[in-house]
Structure 1
């Protein structure tokens, strides 16, 4: 019998009869209650039972292991170290990672921006990494993270979630964080192999301040699999165009989605304010155009700087 199979079957929030669930979990209906006792407490309380039917009160971020997509080679792992690391290792060894996707339910060595660790509880966060190979050098891909953020913002908007972008590539709802993006690259055989790590809160994370989730922000109900499919559709469109044309065609749309456009912002290096000024927009290289009181317009590359308002 398998608790993981049971939880994945319930993850979309739809009602299923105990007979069907028992077959999926490779057990008997009488043993389902005992199997459910393996659920973490924060998920345990989501279960609703009615006249032989089970459902979760809300969908959670689990993908079936047989998840497929017509434009990507998709692999779903219940647990791994880091989806970014898996693709990076393949790229360094000369294996093709182009249009490959690895998703995971949990990561025990996940990484976030600026060297931070990425932690999540099972079912809270939709996490995956996308491999894409470019002919351009790494220096020519400075705006890649902005294009990825815009693709995610547009995909979420299609699903009823009015996300915005905090430069350079955080996904936000107002002042609360919805998701993040980490891009790492390998130069091999005169090509740049980009690994695009994406994490989107599907449930509001426990014990994390100033955070929100897709479920809390969307005015529509969607499963994680549906969100995943739309994200990959829009990412494929945007990455294909970016490889051909660069950032220029996306610049206006990015600025329209930028939460802090035409606002006073502070740039932090670590916990210290490095600069402040008025956010005028972004350049074709993905730099922030910052109007300052003391030095005219400054052009800021993301690097180790984070933006606050």
Structure 2
């Protein structure tokens, strides 16, 4: 789609220039003895500055990042192609292949963060990456490493 500066904000947001452009939610479900993944993707496609101004956090859209107004079906086809290539990485390399690429695109790695739950700060420290399980790796102020599995991340920039 021509977006040059996309980054991943743990665990499930895609940012462009520090502004949210996409959110992804994946959950597992057991069905007939199989574990299946159910994924939802919310992508700001053709939203304008005036539309995004109504959102309470900094946001962007594919249109604002590229200057191109896309047909939703073209965006869907691109997403499906990318998902297929990520699935191929998963099948060939396991999570280590995903993790390597995820960390290359990680937003704020090495910066101080605050983890909140229900609006309350529960941890602070340096964001060091993700674990082999996908947890956020936090270096606390006492230099101990902790894995964070849930919570909202706020950067102390």
Smaller-chain TM-score bracket: 0.7 to 0.9
Per the alignment, residue 126 of structure 2 pairs with: 278
CA RMSD after TM alignment: 1.8
User: C-alpha displacement at 1:176, in angstroms?
Assistant: 1.6
Bigger radius of gyration among the two? 1
Q: Does the CA-based 8 Å contact 1:160-1:220 persist in structure 2?
A: no
* Residues 270, 243 of structure 1: alpha-carbon distance in 2 compared, 3 angstrom cutoff: farther
Alpha-carbon distance in structure 2 between the residues aligned to 1:171 and 1:297 = 25
User: C-alpha displacement at 1:244, in angstroms?
Assistant: 5.0
Per the alignment, residue 73 of structure 2 pairs with: 225
Give the gaps of 5 or more residues in structure 1.
1-158
Per the alignment, residue 299 of structure 1 pairs with: 147
In the TM superposition, 1:108-257 aligns within 5 A as 159-161=1-3, 162-202=5-45, 203-204=47-48, 205-206=51-52, 207-209=54-56, 210-218=58-66, 220=68, 222-243=70-91, 245-257=93-105
Give the gaps of 5 or more residues in structure 2.
none
Q: Which moved more, 1:238-247 or 1:284-293?
A: 238-247
Alpha-carbon distance in structure 2 between the residues aligned to 1:184 and 1:248 = 20
CA offsets 1:206-231 (integer angstroms, 9 cap, x no match) = 41131111111125554322221111
Task: Find the residue that maps to 1:248 and give its secondary structure.
Answer: helix
Alpha-carbon distance in structure 2 between the residues aligned to 1:164 and 1:219 = 19
Alpha-carbon distance in structure 2 between the residues aligned to 1:266 and 1:213 = 26
| TM-score of the aligned structures, taking structure 1 as reference length | 0.45
Alpha-carbon distance in structure 1 between the residues aligned to 2:31 and 2:92 = 20
Task: Find the residue that maps to 2:103 and give its secondary structure.
Answer: helix
| TM-score of the aligned structures, taking structure 2 as reference length | 0.85
More helix by share: 1
Alpha-carbon distance in structure 2 between the residues aligned to 1:215 and 1:198 = 17
